[in-house]
Structures are given as C-alpha cells and as structure tokens.
C-alpha cells in the first residue's frame, strides 16, 4: 500500500496558471505522462519531484485502496445506470427526458470525491452523474425520471429538478448557467453562517454564455466565497461546436478577468480531476476564495435522448454535427477503462474483482429499474399538492 500511495502521487496535475512558466515545459511534462489514452500516467521520479515543486501539492497521495475502489464503482454506477436509461428510451414507453452524462463520469466522481457530505453541489441539465457521485439513490432517481410518486420530487420534476438537500444536492437545473449563481449564493450563505463548507457548481461549456456565471464569479471573487465552478467542456452546446463560437480555446481563462484562478484538467482522468478539485477545496476551506476548473471531455450520446444510439451498443453514431471517428477517438479515452487499467496495474484490484464489481453494479441498476417500474404514478387529485406553501409567513419587523 505504501508503494501504491507513493506511485499514485506521481499522477499528473497541470495547473493552467503555471503551465507556461519556467521549469519543465508543458510539452515535456505531458510527454512524460505517456500521452492520453496510455492508461497509467506515471512520471519518472526525478520529474515527479520537480513537477510537485512546480505544479503544487499532489493530493492523490492520501487515497486508500478503498477510496480508489469506491471511485471506480461510482463511475460504473453512472455509466450502467444511464446506459439502462438509454436502453429504456429505445425500447419505447419511457416517460420523460434525459440528457445523458456517459463519457464524462471522471468529472463528477473526481470532484465529488474531494467533497464532504455537508458540502453543496448545484447541478445542470446533464446532472445525473453529479447526483450519483454525491450519493443519490439509483432507484429514487429513476422513479423521479419516470415521474413516479415515490421519486425524489414525488414525480413532479423529472430529470431536470432532482434535489436532495440532505446530501447537499441543491438540484439539477434546466436553465443553462443558473447552477453557478445558485452555488455562489450558497457559498455566500456559508460565509455568513461562518461554517467551512464549500459550494460547487457544474456547468457545460455553454454555461459561460449568459450572465449567471458573470454575476457569480464577480461576487465570489470580491467576497472570497468558498465557490468552485466546474466547467465540463464536452465541445458542444446542443449541436453547436464551442470552438466555433468562443474566441478562446481554454474556457478557464474566462476566470482571469474576475481575478479568479482558472485551471484546465483532463476531464477523462479521474485522479487528475480529483487532484485539482481537492486543491480548490482545500483553498476555499482555508478562506482563500474561488477556483474555476475546466475539464476537457466529450459526451458519448446526443444532446438529449437516444438519437443515433442502439440497444446494447455504446455511443451515438451517425449524428450530423460530429463525425463517428471523433466519437471513436474519445471513446478510446474511456475514463473508466483508463482507471480500471490503472487500478489493476497498481494491484488495487485484480481483473476478476474489477469484473465482479461490474456485475454487482449491473445488479444494483436492474434492482433500481425494477423498483422504479413498480412505483405508482402521482394521483391526478394530488396535482396541486406541494405547489402552494401552507401556513403563514411572519411579518418582518423593519
């Protein structure tokens, strides 16, 4: 185990702020990692030392075999639970809408593994992964998505509004970018209360296009709020390629103008994401303000639903706005396959155990689907319950 933690500590971390600075060039640093898709990404000992000095603390150092296995299991939960939803949509009779997160699992798991249960997350329309990584229940989530009376929001909200305050989940949200303002608001509340919690917002590359992020970033910077904005850059805003509508390649640079530290990370490498998230969390808990983390990634399915997908086949092909080849290139960087290879090569898991976990998660997903299927739909006569508040609101003195 000792040697594991030592070797895990050599995982890459490339803070954008320093990557063009003196010392090891970004090019030779990345080259030393063995390249994207290489599975394990160790640095040689000499470079690791210099990288730690140049690129800051390496938090993956302290991860136990149990934590690493949990991260693998949670990524699989997201993958297989959403794959089930895709198959249900294709089989027909699926009630509701779903923006699938498959391909981006390393981001939700890397970030949420760095958080405490009492920290907050505010999620967007592609948020199932965030919720599962923060401890959301697979059965209750599926019941909500299929509008059943025992779902998270009693079937009223569907995929886009799942909330569980007891887990710090402030809700998914269909309004692009709004999560940033929600989380910054929660971070303001944390500051007023004087606790050491953190509030994280998840948004896509499109979430920087309107004023929610601007307002949130401005306030978070001015008041040093414990806010972390995670930008999941999956290259598209619906069917529009982000590189066609942004003048900058690294969206983390948007943070510069607000005086906020912006970092770029490989969003398909769960340990790299964890490392930079943990850095931002430690910084915010110590009262040193916000961070914007841009994670480069790719979604495997269409913007929503299951267009171009088939039952039993991963990925959505034949879509007009992207090439199958581009999708296949990204599927070759599958964050779960990469992490599993790493865990097996580090002897955290055997191939047999890794496969057993797949079977266990598959069973949990089937159980969740059976649970959701058996749940009742809300009664029409209850349609106006939970819409209006009951009781009275005390008058304000001033």
Residue 55 or residue 246: which is nearer to ligand TPP going by CB? 246
Q: Map the footprint of ligand TPP across residues 289-308, applying CB under 6 A.
A: 303
Residue 210 or residue 218: which is nearer to ligand TPP going by CB? 210
Out of Mg ion, ligand TPP, none, what residue 126 binds, judged by CB under 5 to 8 A for its kind, is ligand TPP
Nearest-angstrom CA–CA distance, 163 and 160: 9
Q: Map the footprint of ligand TPP across residues 155-174, applying CB under 6 A.
A: 174
- How distant, in Å, are the alpha carbons of 116, 186, 207, 235, 272 from that of 295? 21, 23, 13, 11, 10
- The answer to whether residue 82 forms part of the interface with ligand TPP (CB under 6 A) is no
Stretch that binds ligand TPP, among 58-66, 113-121, 181-189, 201-209 (CB under 6 A): 201-209
Nearest-angstrom CA–CA distance, 256 and 37: 30
Out of Mg ion, ligand TPP, none, what residue 158 binds, judged by CB under 5 to 8 A for its kind, is none
Report CA dihedral (201, 206, 210, 212) to the nearest 10 degrees. 0
Binding mask 112-131 for ligand TPP (x = CB under 6 A): -------------xx-----
- How distant, in Å, are the alpha carbons of 27, 56, 140, 300 from that of 15? 13, 8, 38, 27
Please enumerate in sequence order all residues whose Cβ is within 8 A of that of 197, keeping only pairs 6 or more positions apart, or say none.
116, 118, 119, 120, 190, 226
- The answer to whether residue 168 forms part of the interface with Mg ion (CB under 5 A) is no
Nearest-angstrom CA–CA distance, 154 and 173: 17
As measured in angstroms, the least distance from the Cβ of 101 to Mg ion is: 11
For every residue of 160-218, DSSP letters joined together read GG--BGGGTB----SSTTHHHHHHHHHHHHHHHHT----EEEEEEGGGGSSHHHHHHHH
Among residues 136, 204, 226, 315, the one that binds ligand TPP under rule CB under 6 A:
204
Nearest-angstrom CA–CA distance, 371 and 77: 16
- The answer to whether residue 207 forms part of the interface with ligand TPP (CB under 6 A) is yes
Please enumerate in sequence order all residues whose Cβ is within 8 A of that of 325, keeping only pairs 6 or more positions apart, or say none.
none
Phi (first) and psi of residue 247, to 5 degrees: -90, 0
Q: Map the footprint of Mg ion across residues 172-211, applying CB under 5 A.
A: 204-205
Nearest-angstrom CA–CA distance, 298 and 319: 14
- The answer to whether residue 234 forms part of the interface with Mg ion (CB under 5 A) is yes
Other C-beta atoms lying within 10 Å of the C-beta of residue 111: 29
Binding mask 238-257 for ligand TPP (x = CB under 6 A): x-------------------
Stretch that binds Mg ion, among 6-14, 231-239, 279-287, 326-334 (CB under 5 A): 231-239
As measured in angstroms, the least distance from the Cβ of 175 to ligand TPP is: 5
- The answer to whether residue 150 forms part of the interface with ligand TPP (CB under 6 A) is no
Residue 238 or residue 385: which is nearer to ligand TPP going by CB? 238
Out of Mg ion, ligand TPP, none, what residue 189 binds, judged by CB under 5 to 8 A for its kind, is none
Closest listed residue to residue 159, CA positions, set 202, 127, 135, 120: 127
Q: Map the footprint of ligand TPP across residues 171-190, applying CB under 6 A.
A: 174-176
Contact residues: Mg ion, CB under 5 A: 204-205, 234, 236
Contact residues: ligand TPP, CB under 6 A: 125-126, 174-176, 203-207, 210, 234, 236-238, 303
């Amino acid at each position: 185990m000792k040697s594991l933690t030592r070797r895990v500590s050599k995982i890459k971390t490339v803070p954008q702020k320093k990557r063009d600075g003196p010392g090891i060039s970004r090019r030779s640093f990345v080259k030393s990692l063995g390249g994207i898709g290489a599975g394990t990404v160790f640095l040689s000992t000499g470079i690791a030392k210099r990288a730690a000095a140049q690129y800051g603390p390496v938090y993956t150092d302290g991860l136990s075999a149990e934590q690493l296995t949990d991260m693998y299991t949670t990524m699989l939960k997201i993958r297989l639970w959403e794959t089930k939803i895709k198959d249900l949509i294709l089989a027909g009779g699926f009630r509701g809408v779903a923006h699938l997160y498959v391909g981006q699992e390393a981001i939700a798991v890397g970030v949420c593994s760095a958080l405490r249960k009492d920290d907050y997350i505010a999620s967007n329309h592609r948020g199932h992964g965030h919720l599962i990584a923060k401890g959301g229940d697979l059965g209750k989530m599926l019941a909500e998505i299929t509008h059943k009376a025992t779902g998270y929001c009693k079937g009223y909200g569907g995929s886009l509004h799942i909330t569980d305050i007891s887990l710090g989940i402030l809700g998914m949200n269909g309004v692009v970018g709004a999560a940033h303002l929600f989380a910054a608001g929660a971070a303001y509340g944390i500051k007023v209360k004087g606790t050491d919690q953190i509030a994280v917002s998840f948004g896509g590359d499109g979430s920087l296009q309107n004023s929610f992020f601007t307002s949130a970033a401005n306030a978070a910077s001015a008041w040093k709020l414990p806010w972390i904005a995670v930008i999941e850059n999956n290259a598209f805003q619906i069917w529009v390629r982000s590189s066609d509508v942004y003048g900058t390649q690294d969206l983390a640079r948007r943070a510069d103008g607000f005086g906020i530290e912006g970092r770029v990370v490989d969003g398909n490498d769960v340990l790299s994401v964890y490392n930079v998230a943990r850095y931002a969390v430690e910084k915010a808990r110590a009262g040193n303000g916000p961070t914007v983390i841009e994670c480069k990634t790719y979604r495997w399915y269409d913007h929503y639903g299951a267009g171009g997908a088939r039952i039993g086949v991963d990925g959505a092909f034949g879509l007009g706005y992207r090439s199958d080849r581009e999708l296949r290139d990204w599927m070759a960087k599958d964050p779960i396959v990469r992490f599993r290879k790493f865990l097996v090569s580090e002897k955290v898991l055997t191939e047999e155990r890794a496969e057993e976990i797949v079977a266990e998660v598959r069973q949990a997903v089937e159980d969740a689907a059976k649970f959701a299927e058996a749940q009742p739909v809300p009664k029409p006569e209850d349609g106006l319950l939970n819409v209006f508040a009951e009781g009275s609101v005390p008058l304000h003195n001033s």
